[in-house]
Amino acid sequence: MILQLAMSTTATKTSTNTSTATTHHDNISKAKTKTTLYPDFQLLNVKQALTETKTRPIKPSQFQELFKTNPNDSESGGKQKLKLVHRDKVSFSNKLHNHSHVFHARMHRDVKRVASLIHRLSSGSAAKYEVENFGSDVVSGMNQGSGEYFVRIGLGSPPRSQYMVIDSGSDIVWVQCKPCTQCYHQTDPLFDPADSASFMGVSCSSAVCDRVENAGCNSGRCRYEVSYGDGSYTKGTLALETLTFGRTVVRNVAIGCGHSNRGMFVGAAGLLGLGGGSMSFMGQLSGQTGNAFSYCLVSRGTNTNGFLEFGSEAMPVGAAWIPLVRNPRAPSFYYIRLLGLGVGDTRVPISEDVFQLNELGSGGVVMDTGTAVTRFPTVAYEAFRNAFIEQTQNLPRASAVSIFDTCYNLFGFLSVRVPTVSFYFSGGPILTLPANNFLIPVDDAGTFCFAFAPSPSGLSILGNIQQEGIQISVDEANEFVGFGPNIC
């Protein structure tokens, strides 16, 4: 199994002019006790990481060029590949770009997202959860900060290109529609159903409308209305519509057509739900896609694009596969079985039970593209953090920043030697993270923080910062999740 992993070297100060060339060792290995097949330490390129914080986001007017499709890689062997871009790579305002401001805004969104997930996964019975699941999925890109990664698709006939957010925890394809009594700002013109020959409203008696608990009915059309205590909401009609992905046309996709929407979500026109429920894009097209998709996320500071592919043909050869865990109370989410955590060459002494999904549907480990920072239950996080601190005593500490309590002042360093951070999974694979995935800059002055946080509940969440740069594949049909072998 091949994944990018920086090899260890010693820390060097700027004044030494020591070369910081980095070799890369890739690694998912079989579990060992004390001895490991991966390096105990690796190199964090501080200078490069700080340079990336100064990367200017592009303007919306440059979106077309960013998402320009190359006919040679748009579709290959039956696979449809779409480009993915992080929202922080794009500027929606004329305000001066500042990495600290962008970081704090991202953490603000993240706290709301995590609170929303915990609320959804801890409330009510299975029947009640189905209602909240549909509604929360509709607005998750708005007030819960799930608008992290953008993709470009065509909507309607003829297709109107729209920037959509992907969300692995959502079960609906949703877009703002005319007439719009209240909508947030988006880059593209609002979608007008009247201009689409393929738009078809869903009747109140249809099977699609039956999937929505407490659906309303107005003039024979199926309507939904979901609201939350913080004032965020979405209201609209359900419809069947044609979606275009590059050269692939998918007809009769059930979408939410939002006519009144309020929340923090700006820029994109709507949300492409990739969750495990029947109303998600994957659930609706299980016969055509084989219930499988693969993605690779990139951070804002890089000059490359991530990707999203649909179909069983997109499942890579050579990935490290682990079982996909199902939670009947939360069918939208993709759970995986994490057994433990490692720092350096040592597995941190944490009971495996801390990460397990119990019979009541609580706890467990969820993979989520909409959450930025990985969360672990407090007892696991503290043991994990303390092990990392123990092995980084040579690095100068800094004050806590936002949700991060373990930070370092790396001003003046070219590179630093840091212990390897690893995830131990069911079945034997060990995923070793690149240094940039667990020690991240929170400003442009050299403050770096250990990019994990405690969970206020028993739920663990594998966030997108830790997923960055690693190809992740979800094979629902065979109930496996794969890591690698490709990087982006």
* Three state DSSP letters for the chain: CCCCCECCCCCEEHHHCCCCCCCECCCEEECCCCCCCCCCEEEEEHHHHHHHHCCCCECHHHHHHHCCCCHHHHEECCEEEEEEEEHHHECCCCCCCCHHHHHHHHHHHHHHHHHHHHHHHHCCCHHHHHHHHHHHHHHHHHHCCCCCEEEEEEECCCCEEEEEEEECCCCCEEEEECCCCECCCECCCCECHHHCCCCEECECCCHHHHCCCCCEEECCEEEEEEECCCCCEEEEEEEEEEEEECCEEEEEEEEEEEEEEECCCCECCEEEECCCCCCCHHHHCHHHHCCEEEEECCCCCCCCCEEEEECHHHCCCCCEEEEEECCCCCCCCEEECEEEEEECCEECCCCHHHHCECCCCCECEEECCCCCCEEEEHHHHHHHHHHHHHCCCCCCEECCECCECCEEECCCEEEEEEECEEEEECCCEEEECCHHHCEEECCCCCEEEECEEEECCCCEEECHHHHCCEEEEEECCCCEEEEEEEEC
Task: Assess whether 167 carries a catalytic annotation.
Answer: yes
Give the pair of three-digit tokens for residue 247. 């050269």
The per-residue pLDDT for 403 is 95
From 110, 167, 171, 345, active-site residue: 167
Q: How confident is the prediction along the chain (488 residues), in pLDDT tens digits per residue?
A: 334 332 222 333 333 222 222 222 233 333 333 435 678 999 999 999 998 887 655 555 555 555 555 544 444 444 568 888 776 665 545 454 678 887 888 888 788 888 878 877 775 433 232 322 222 122 222 333 335 788 889 999 999 999 888 889 877 788 899 999 988 888 889 999 999 999 999 999 999 888 865 678 988 999 877 554 344 567 899 999 999 988 889 999 999 899 988 765 567 888 888 999 888 899 888 777 888 999 999 875 666 788 999 988 889 988 999 999 999 888 889 999 999 999 999 999 999 999 999 998 999 999 998 888 999 999 999 999 999 999 999 999 999 999 999 999 999 999 999 999 999 999 889 999 999 999 999 998 999 999 999 998 999 999 999 999 999 999 999 999 999 887 88
Residue 353 identity: D
The per-residue pLDDT for 55 is 63
From 188, 368, 443, 475, active-site residue: 368
Task: Assess whether 368 carries a catalytic annotation.
Answer: yes
Residue 362 identity: S
pTM of the model: 0.83
